[in-house]
Chains A and B, each alone.
Chain A
């Protein structure tokens, strides 16, 4: 997980204003606060996790990113970060649009449903894939809108936002995703990390 944080931190310029959407226990926020910028805030749906963040001295509001982002004016933050949560929203399209409205740039990370283990899981077993990064059953998973790295690239074209950086993470190794290697990155990447702008 630390690798993901480091990659995100490397994308962000020092002293930027940052909003972490779905900031969870605030681990990424803490990392960014220590290494990048103290001007960082979070929004988190779980009361318990908001409490954890407050105990860490982080500025977090309890809220549902699907409904509560509208309170932020346009271009409120230099960066808005959405770490592995896009797939949990009822309307990911709307969320992406909101992220790009309130942030000058957005960093989105997605667990890649196109990974070969996931594909093999479904192909061989014929049941919904359960892996280390996707440990839930189909009926209790919060991940209702899974997508692949390839899906996300396609999604950018459909919705009309620009991907400025796309990276694939595999066994703590990071590599660029390009048009020519998309097929392989989509097969072997565990996580996709995208820097996007409207």
Chain B
């Protein structure tokens, strides 16, 4: 990918000890910012992206030439208002939009890391990201915000750095990946590794891509981001550019065509090995276990004001799992608000035009900003 010139990168010199035991240093962390950091440096919001997101939160993504993944929520006068706040987003460690990941060259072997890249965790991702605060001279974020895997990073961030965020908005997430979550991720990984072009992760050597496997992984995952009702309303049993069934295995149904399209555009922008690594990081995420079975202990030292948000039709990270975070916070009398937003759009609701959600985020941020906690 000839994308380098559009990507801002911070080289992190300081050694970072990963959960897997390895230590990395002098590694790149790609990031983007939106809005302006004020004089007091107290208007910064760290946005954490989800599995297939990147640092190009809003506006036109210079690499894909498409809208940023959170254009509905982030921008001038939007929920996360770029006129007011300074938004920072980093491509996660292990990602494929410029941050240190499996598609980088291993200086020792002069080959692409592939599966020689260390297995990373949400904790590692967060510990890499915090360097951006030092880089910008920000002592304390106004907020740390993210949905799905981004929400997991929010939880881990506050746990690791209890005095570095005034507010936190974990959205549609969980404190530990469920068996079902792991199962879907494993399905995706198996699809990738079963592709004969994957070549044990060394596809780069043969200049191929495990396109089919990665596309199937994306298709399967995409289903989990939507709700049954949403799918039914959007597609039902509608046929794709034909009047009748063709008695074959082409995409007869619109939903088939839609999924195939989602799969095909995904392989153009995402690295298969990154997909393996990042889904693994999600599966390993277990803040409950990290604190010996008591999630409350993850937050016991923090004064951060939380706002937890879930969606009625999200069956991937259902309300109950989000509520467990609320319960853990209430158990230690932490400052926490919670709302479940009514939406048929499934887990993806947080990325879409869901007015009640966008309103809640805006109101929470704008009021908390005035409050000067």
The chain A residues found within 8 Å of chain B, CB to CB, are 17, 41, 47, 50-51, 54-63, 71-73, 76
Contacts and interface: CB of A to CB of B under 8 A. Distances in A.
A50 to B, nearest CB: 5
11 contacts: A47-B341, A54-B337, A54-B363, A56-B367, A57-B371, A58-B337, A59-B335, A61-B326, A61-B338, A62-B338, A72-B331
B27 interface: no
B337 A47 contact: no
Interface in B335-373: 335-342, 356, 359-360, 363-364, 367-368, 370-371
A104 B364 CA distance: 29
Contact of A51 (B327, B331, B360, B371): B360
Given A56-B367, A62-B340, 12 more contacts: A47-B340, A47-B341, A50-B339, A51-B356, A54-B364, A57-B368, A60-B339, A61-B326, A61-B339, A71-B326, A71-B331, A72-B331
Interface residues on B, range: 20 to 34
Interface of B: 305, 307, 326-327, 330-331, 333, 335-342, 356, 359-360, 363-364, 367-368, 370-371
Contacts of A55: 359, 363, 367
A57 B370 contact: yes
Nearest to B305: A59
Nearest to B327: A71
A62 B336 CA distance: 11
Contacts of B307: 54
B58 to A, nearest CB: 23
A76 B333 CA distance: 7
Contacts of B336: 59, 61
A17 B330 CA distance: 13
B367 A59 contact: no
Contacts of A17: 333
Instruction: Report which residue of B307, B339, B356 has the largest number of chain A beta carbons within 10 angstroms of its beta carbon.
Output: B339
A51 B359 contact: yes
B309 to A, nearest CB: 10
Contacts of B335: 41, 59
Given A47-B342, A71-B331, A61 B367 contact: no
Nearest to B370: A57
Nearest to B308: A61
Contacts of B368: 57
B330 A72 contact: yes
Contacts of B356: 47, 51
Contacts of B339: 47, 50-51, 54, 60-62
A56 B337 CA distance: 13
Contacts of A60: 337-339
Contacts of B330: 61, 71-72, 76
A81 B360 CA distance: 25
A62 B338 CA distance: 6
Contacts of A59: 305, 335-337
Contacts of B363: 51, 54-55, 57
A167 B330 CA distance: 32
A194 to B, nearest CB: 25
A47 B360 CA distance: 11
A114 B138 CA distance: 61
A9 B342 CA distance: 34
B145 to A, nearest CB: 15
B342 A61 contact: no
Contacts of B326: 61, 71
A162 to B, nearest CB: 25
A75 to B, nearest CB: 10
Nearest to A76: B333
Nearest to B307: A54
A62 B340 CA distance: 7
Contacts of B367: 54-57
B262 to A, nearest CB: 31
Contacts of B360: 51, 54
B274 to A, nearest CB: 36
